[in-house]
Amino acid sequence: MEAKMEVRKGISPDELEQLGGGEVAYIKMLTSEEANEIYPLDDSLPEGISIYALHAADGTPIALTDSMQAAIGQAIDDELEVASLH
The tens-digit pLDDT sequence of the chain (86 residues) is 555 545 445 556 566 556 655 788 999 999 999 998 888 777 888 889 999 999 988 888 899 999 999 999 999 999 999 887 65
CA angle at 64 for the pair 62 and 74, rounded to the nearest 5°:
60
Q: Is residue 9 part of a domain?
A: no
Residue 16's pLDDT is: 56
H-helix segments, 1-86: 13-20, 32-38, 68-77
Residue 73's pLDDT is: 95
pTM here is 0.70
Q: Is residue 53 part of a domain?
A: yes
Which residue range is the domain that position 53 belongs to? 24-82
Q: Is residue 39 part of a domain?
A: yes
Q: Is residue 54 part of a domain?
A: yes
Residue 49 to residues 26, 27, 65, 73, 79, Cα–Cα distance (Å): 20, 16, 11, 20, 27
Residue 41's pLDDT is: 79
Residue 84's pLDDT is: 74
Name all contacts of 47-53 with Cβ < 8 Å and 24+ positions apart.
52/27, 52/28, 53/27, 53/28, 53/29
Q: Is residue 3 part of a domain?
A: no
